[in-house]
């Protein structure tokens, strides 16, 4: 059996159970108020990948970010409309964790996710591997490097990460003891 790593696509399933191991409320890099939740896979211990191989997934760490206010809005969406959508999503998240949704202080919301377990749908999030930008690129304001390619096959190099597609329902509260498993 192999332990999952970023070279292996994540197996999409709806019956993963994640444990919240850390919660932080702080501004995003863009200055928007945001909750950062850090999870680990509590169950299942293993999954069968697309090639029929058993992979160990328990203990894999996953980060989840939920912005609750948009300072500048989105393309074709005012900051007020974007904030309304973000706050509705945050309320759905609180509901999935069976946390209170009344009287939320949007400037400093009570979190309460840590130690709780939830059923989630996870899917693969494929990301191109990039090199460092050159000094010339940085001088032009280009902050990301070129996509890396395999020297022989010339195929783009990618990494795979688990992505939370949806938080489905509350599973319970866990005693925090190490990584993986219930």
Residues 31-68: pLDDT tens digits?
A: 999 999 999 999 999 999 888 999 999 999 999 999 99
Structural tokens at position 145: 């490097």
Please give the average per-residue pLDDT across 18-28, as a whole number. Answer: 95
Q: How is the chain split into domains, by residue range?
A: 2-121+163-173
Structural tokens at position 181: 């498993």
- pLDDT tens-digit profile of 89-124? 999 999 999 999 999 999 899 999 999 999 999 999
Distance CA(85)–CA(68), nearest Å, equals: 9
Element (H, E) at 80: helix 79-96
- pLDDT tens-digit profile of 130-169? 999 989 889 999 888 889 999 999 999 999 999 998 888 8
Residues 39 and 20: beta-carbon distance below 8 Å: yes
């Amino acid at each position: 059996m192999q332990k999952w790593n970023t070279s292996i696509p994540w197996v999409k399933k709806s019956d993963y159970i994640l444990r919240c191991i850390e919660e932080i409320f702080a501004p995003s890099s863009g200055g928007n108020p945001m909750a950062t939740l850090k999870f680990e896979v509590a169950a299942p211990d293993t999954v069968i990948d697309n090639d029929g191989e058993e992979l160990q997934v328990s203990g894999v760490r996953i980060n989840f970010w939920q912005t609750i206010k948009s300072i500048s809005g989105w393309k074709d969406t005012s900051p007020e409309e974007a904030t309304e959508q973000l706050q509705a999503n945050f309320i759905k998240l609180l509901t999935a964790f069976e946390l209170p949704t009344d009287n939320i202080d949007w400037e400093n919301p009570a979190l309460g996710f840590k130690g709780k377990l939830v059923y989630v749908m996870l899917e693969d999030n494929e990301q191109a591997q990039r090199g460092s930008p050159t000094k010339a690129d940085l001088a032009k304001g280009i902050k990301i490097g070129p996509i890396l390619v395999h020297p022989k096959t010339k195929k783009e190099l990618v990494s795979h990460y688990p992505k939370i597609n949806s938080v489905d329902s509350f599973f319970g509260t866990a005693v925090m003891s190490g990584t993986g498993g219930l």
